[in-house]
Structure 1
Amino acid sequence: MPCSNSCVTALLNSPLAHYAAALLLVVGLTTALLAAQKIQLRWQPYIAILRACLQLAIIALLLHGILAAPWAVVLFIALMLTTATVTSGKHSRRLHRGQVATALAIATGSLIAVALIFALGLVPYSTQNLVAVAGIIIGGTMTITTLTARNFTTLATARQGEIESWLALGATAPVAYRDITKAAITEALTPGLDQTRATGLVTLPGTFVGALMGGASPLLAAQLQIAVLAGQTLAGTIAALLLTSVITRTRVLPLSA
């Protein structure tokens, strides 16, 4: 019994217990603020954080083995691409070949950007850096692809008469959708560009902070962050252009969400 009590005491006094308690406090404050305004998300903040904890714990354990085997790194990147495609594809399924276009857009944009970052020496190559950079860029590309699909669907639905007029005049589908495509891509890329412009003044992005905490100099951390931001912008642009080039090859208007 004494041993059991001492073990419990040691656990309660551990940094992990303090971390868990502090985390619960932050999430609890979030839930309380939402409840006070009668925003019915209920336990969603807790569920989201718990899921994030479990997923990151699993990833942390897997990375110990993955980083030691090149083939495992390739499989892990493929898994990230697949997950991003499935997640973003939910928002493009109403569009012409939307899910195929989503897969093509995310994979092509992400892989080109990651390859250029390491080929040009913007980030020193290592399996750790490859996984980290690929994860950041794939995630950003997924977001831009989702925004492009959602914006395109909304705009095409709202401006259906304009599209039909172009088609009636004999315009090809890409021409009929041209203005809508430009607007959808612009709106999808704007949040990322705003974040890039505000970097260092409003936000300190994860790559910069992570590099600093890992012992890198502020100058090196800034160089790594800028490289990742440039890669994200390139990947998102390629993805948005590819997505819209596929989904506009039809005269059938998209269904409203």
Structure 2
Amino acid sequence: MDHLGDTIIRIGPALVIVMVVLAGVAVAVNVAASSGHGRETVIAVIRAVVQLSALAAILAVVIRNLGLSILFAAVMAVAAAATSASRLTGGHLRKSTSPLRTVALCLLPVALPTAVIMAAVVAAGVVPASGIAIIPTAGIMFSSAMTATSLAGKHSHDELAHRYGEVEAALSLGFLPRDARLALIKPAAATALIPGIDQTRSVGLVGIPGAFVGMVLGGASTTAAAIMQLFVLIALLAVSAIAVLVTTEMVSRELL
């Protein structure tokens, strides 16, 4: 057994049993509470098992090659965009809208901010041009942008659906369609930034982030781990802010 992994969690039969029980609790509570997410929780757990198993096998190969690492990052970007697209097409978009078109549009808020920031920090020498550095860093940013896009898009569409009369009123006053919708959805979409802001302001007080723990377990000093974690958190704030801005603009123009 890996001594570093054994430091934070003991891998063995007991761990498997605990994970199965916890997954069962999550599903049971969702079903009992009629949240509508019982089946979705089961699917999420199964997908996590399959995807993490595949990830471990794939990374063992691609992480040693820069070209393959960049290709893998591109696959992550498409997967993140597809996840946001599936969330946004949950009854809000016109039935005639092409799913592939929606995924392609979601690449703008999900992938573009991460691609630009990663290119900049690699060029500046802040992040080494290697798979072991690029894949996890880009993955964290894609995940944050994906969450921000999904939340901003869903909240925006919910506002438009519940308060469309206000949009009509603004149009009657001479507002352009884009401006009428944007004024309504901006505050709702901005709530997608709250999780990232709260995480950053409470880091080290409420919880210790994974990047920090991973670096310390890998042998880095606590100072180096703290600096790395600070970089990640600030980068996530930037990525999320751009993702929300782009998503809000696209929803106001009825592109998403």
- TM-score, normalized by length of structure 2? 0.80
After the TM superposition, which of the residue ranges 85-94 and 227-236 deviates more from structure 2? 85-94
Match of 1:211 in 2: 215
After the TM superposition, which of the residue ranges 190-199 and 136-145 deviates more from structure 2? 190-199
Measured after TM superposition, the shift of residue 190 of structure 1 is 1.2
After the TM superposition, which of the residue ranges 167-176 and 28-37 deviates more from structure 2? 28-37
CA distance 1:178–1:222, change in 2 (3 Å): same
Measured after TM superposition, the shift of residue 121 of structure 1 is 4.3
Match of 2:5 in 1: none
CA distance in 1, matches of 2:32, 2:162: 36
Would you say 1:220 and 2:239 are equivalent positions?
A: no
Measured after TM superposition, the shift of residue 192 of structure 1 is 1.4
CA distance in 2, matches of 1:229, 1:147: 19
CA distance in 2, matches of 1:33, 1:161: 37
Match of 2:16 in 1: 20
Measured after TM superposition, the shift of residue 209 of structure 1 is 1.3
CA distance in 2, matches of 1:41, 1:185: 23
Contact 1:84 1:106 in 2 (8 A): yes
Measured after TM superposition, the shift of residue 25 of structure 1 is 4.2
Tell me the alpha carbon deviations over residues 5-45 of structure 1, each in whole angstroms, 9 at most, x when there is no partner. Answer: xxxxxxxxx95334323433444555566677787876875
Tell me the alpha carbon deviations over residues 51-94 of structure 1, each in whole angstroms, 9 at most, x when there is no partner. Answer: 32221111111001101222211221111111111110123343
Would you say 1:175 and 2:179 are equivalent positions?
A: yes
The one-letter code of the counterpart of 1:86 is A
Q: SS at 1:203's partner residue?
A: coil
CA distance 1:180–1:101, change in 2 (3 Å): farther
Match of 2:206 in 1: 202
| Unpaired stretches in structure 1, ≥5 consecutive residues | 1-13
CA distance in 2, matches of 1:35, 1:105: 33
* Alignment match of 1:56 (pick from 52, 56, 63): 52
Match of 2:7 in 1: none
The one-letter code of the counterpart of 1:85 is A
User: Computing the radius of gyration over CA atoms, which structure comes out larger, 1 or 2?
Assistant: 1
Match of 1:165 in 2: 169
Mapping 1:116-127, distance limit 5 Å:
116-127=120-131
Match of 1:77 in 2: 73
- TM-score, normalized by length of structure 1? 0.80
CA distance in 1, matches of 2:147, 2:65: 29
Match of 1:136 in 2: 140
CA distance in 1, matches of 2:153, 2:31: 32
After the TM superposition, which of the residue ranges 59-68 and 105-114 deviates more from structure 2? 105-114
The one-letter code of the counterpart of 2:227 is Q
CA distance in 2, matches of 1:171, 1:32: 48
Match of 1:66 in 2: 62
What percent of counterpart residues are identical? 31
| Unpaired stretches in structure 2, ≥5 consecutive residues | 1-9
Contact 1:193 1:233 in 2 (8 A): yes
Match of 2:239 in 1: 235
CA distance in 2, matches of 1:38, 1:182: 30
CA distance 1:95–1:110, change in 2 (3 Å): farther
Q: Which has the higher contact order (CA 8 A, sep 6+)?
A: 1
Contact 1:105 1:145 in 2 (8 A): yes
The one-letter code of the counterpart of 1:232 is L
Would you say 1:156 and 2:160 are equivalent positions?
A: yes
